[in-house]
């Protein structure tokens, strides 16, 4: 007779705390910035505050007022886990996972995109689809258990570098990831992958393929790989872009970039050793084409992304409203119309998360997934919403975004301060209030950090054309367009050259 499942208070809890998460990053990883290895990412000025921001997420898993909001008992391991790190089995579970995702998103005001729950979109599926990974199904299950129990932070790198993409993959063996040696205890790989956003502050990276069209059977088996690499894997080099956190002059001047900069990186595997227990797919050109749609990453990933975007849009609506009040333009008709549209984008985005959860589709092994066609629609519309945000801020705040002085030191200058108090004051606040608000607005859309977010949101789920083509392809595969076309045929069947042929229109009643 099976024993009763443990209650949440009885369940083992191995989830990392903020402190243990920070400690887990001190593992000898090779993170490169400005030509040098960063010895400790938790203390380096390029990463320290972002690391603390991530630590806050883990603290929320244990805080008395958010512990039950964020966690549940995992049916597979019996441990207390983050609600989105384990597969959902009902619409109710998806909604509760949404609440957990939302809370984490609010801790960065929607500006940290690759928080650990993002990769949960894929990692949670390792337990419900483990048979797919045979003969490495045991690895899939083992990694799920390790991941979910600790609440590990996992990044991913699934895009090939933009080199010779017009050629078949097997002709670019000097750049794309491939296996170069097979050993009794694992494989040796070399090559590069991108974009491993935030990987400098994660525990491991999932490495796979997404651009699959030219992985040819019989020629590209050495590239048909999927594996998980701890960030301290010997031979793994993490090459970072310039750090916006490091460039931040103060929290007052750079309130977002000084603490929420998720550094985008390229992972270079320089004859790196991958033990067999970390391999999920090996030299299988057919399976490497199937794992992406089978994993649940598409619908779950866009579910998490939509929740995060809704929080971000709320934040931007708040800035726009306060900014126009500070300028005395809040009552202008055009300003009100712009703010109204921004709110509509937020409401639409949030409503889509509700629909994804409440109208789920059947997933593997008794699980449910957010409905894919709704997720695909968010994938198309999210970049448009962020493009409109920029338009509203540039139209309705305009030069106010630049009338902020050079830094917080201007306000601390005793000679300048009386002048700034007089000439920089706002209609709804002091000069300091006004400058503080517009520096926040500029960091969100105009700084290097803000420009990166514009680029990120545009390409978050793929190129603009590709997200639309995928929506079309998916609709055709599900028979949606056939159904829609049948309605057209039915409508045209109601009449012919001589008049109406069906219903009351035809019989004159």
Binding site listing for FAD: 156-158, 197
Burial code of 133-158, b = ≥16 C-beta within 10 A, e = fewer? Answer: beebeebbbebbbbbbbbbbbbbbbb
Q: State the residue for tokens 């209030």.
A: 433
d(CA 481, CA 476): 6
Sign (positive/negative) of CA torsion 218, 221, 222, 223? positive
226's enclosing H/E stretch is strand 225-230
Q: SS in 3 state form for 154-206? A: EEEECECCCCCCCCCHHHCCCCECEEEEEECCEEEEEEEEECCCCHHHCCEEE
First-residue to last-residue Cα distance in the chain: 68
Q: Work out the angle at residue 320's Cα, subtended by the Cα atoms of residues 318 and 322, and round it to the nearest 5 degrees.
A: 70
Sheet holding 154-157, edge to edge: 154-157, 204-207, 225-230, 279-282
Beta-ladder partners of 281: 226
Determine whether 188 is exposed, middle or buried from the number of CB atoms within 10 Å of its CB (0-12, 13-18, 19+). middle
CA gyration radius, the chain: 25
Whole-number Cα distances in Å, 296 to 87, 248, 290, 459, 468: 9, 38, 11, 20, 19
Q: How many CB atoms lie within 10 A of CB 351?
A: 13
Q: Which two tokens stand for residue 35?
A: 């030509």
Q: Which two tokens stand for residue 365?
A: 């092994």
Q: Which two tokens stand for residue 66?
A: 């958010």
Q: Phi and psi dihedrals of 158, rounded to 5?
A: -125, 5
Whole-number Cα distances in Å, 441 to 39, 111, 154, 461: 33, 13, 30, 25
Contacts of 218 (CB under 8 A, 6+ apart): none
| Closest C-alpha to 323, from 417, 399, 405 | 399
Burial code of 408-444, b = ≥16 C-beta within 10 A, e = fewer? Answer: bebbeeeeeeeebeeebbbebeebbebbbbbbbbbbb
Determine whether 213 is exposed, middle or buried from the number of CB atoms within 10 Å of its CB (0-12, 13-18, 19+). exposed
């Amino acid at each position: 007779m099976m024993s009763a499942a443990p209650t949440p208070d009885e369940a083992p809890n191995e989830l990392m705390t903020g402190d243990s998460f920070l400690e887990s990053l001190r593992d000898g990883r090779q993170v490169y910035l400005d030509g040098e290895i960063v010895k400790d990412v938790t203390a380096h000025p390029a990463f320290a505050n972002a690391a603390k921001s991530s630590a806050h997420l883990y603290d929320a898993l244990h805080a008395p007022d958010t512990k039950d909001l964020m966690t549940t008992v995992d049916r597979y391991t019996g441990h207390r886990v983050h609600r989105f790190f384990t597969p959902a089995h009902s619409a109710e579970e998806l909604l509760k996972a949404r609440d957990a995702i939302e809370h984490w998103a609010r801790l960065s005001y929607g500006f940290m995109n690759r928080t650990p729950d993002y990769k949960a979109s894929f990692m949670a599926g390792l337990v419900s689809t483990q048979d797919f990974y045979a003969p490495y199904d045991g690895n899939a299950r083992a990694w799920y258990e390790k991941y979910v129990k600790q609440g590990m932070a996992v990044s991913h790198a699934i895009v090939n570098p933009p080199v010779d993409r017009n050629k078949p993959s097997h002709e670019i063996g000097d750049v794309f990831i491939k296996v170069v040696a097979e050993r009794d205890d694992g494989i040796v790989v070399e090559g590069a992958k991108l974009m491993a956003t935030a990987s400098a502050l994660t525990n491991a990276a999932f490495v796979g393929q997404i651009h699959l069209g030219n992985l040819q059977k019989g020629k590209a088996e050495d590239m048909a790989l999927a594996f998980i690499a701890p960030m301290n894997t010997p031979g793994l080099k993490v090459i970072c872009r310039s750090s916006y956190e490091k460039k931040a002059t103060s929290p007052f001047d750079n309130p977002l970039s000084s603490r929420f900069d998720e550094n985008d990186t390229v992972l270079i595997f320089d004859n790196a050793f991958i033990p067999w227990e970390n391999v999920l797919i090996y030299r299988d050109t057919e399976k490497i084409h199937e794992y992406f749609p089978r994993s649940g990453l598409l619908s779950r990933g866009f579910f998490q992304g939509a929740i995060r975007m809704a929080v971000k849009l709320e934040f931007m609506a708040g800035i726009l409203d306060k900014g126009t009040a500070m300028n005395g333009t809040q009552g202008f008709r055009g300003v009100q119309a712009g703010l109204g549209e921004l709110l509509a984008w937020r409401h639409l985005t949030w409503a889509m998360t509700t629909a994804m959860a409440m109208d789920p589709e059947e997933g593997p092994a008794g699980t449910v997934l957010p409905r894919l066609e709704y997720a695909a629609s968010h994938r198309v519309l999210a970049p448009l919403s962020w493009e409109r945000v920029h338009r509203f801020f540039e139209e309705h705040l305009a030069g106010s975004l630049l009338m902020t002085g050079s830094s917080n030191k201007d306000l601390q200058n005793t000679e300048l301060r009386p002048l700034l108090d007089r000439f920089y004051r706002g209609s709804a606040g002091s000069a300091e209030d006004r400058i503080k608000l517009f520096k926040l607005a500029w960091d969100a859309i105009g700084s290097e950090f803000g420009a990166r977010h514009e680029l990120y949101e545009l390409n978050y789920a793929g190129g603009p054309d590709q997200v639309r083509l995928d929506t079309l392809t998916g609709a055709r595969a599900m028979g949606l367009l056939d159904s829609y076309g049948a309605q057209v045929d039915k409508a045209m069947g109601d009449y012919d050259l001589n008049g109406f042929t069906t219903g009351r229109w035809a019989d004159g009643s």
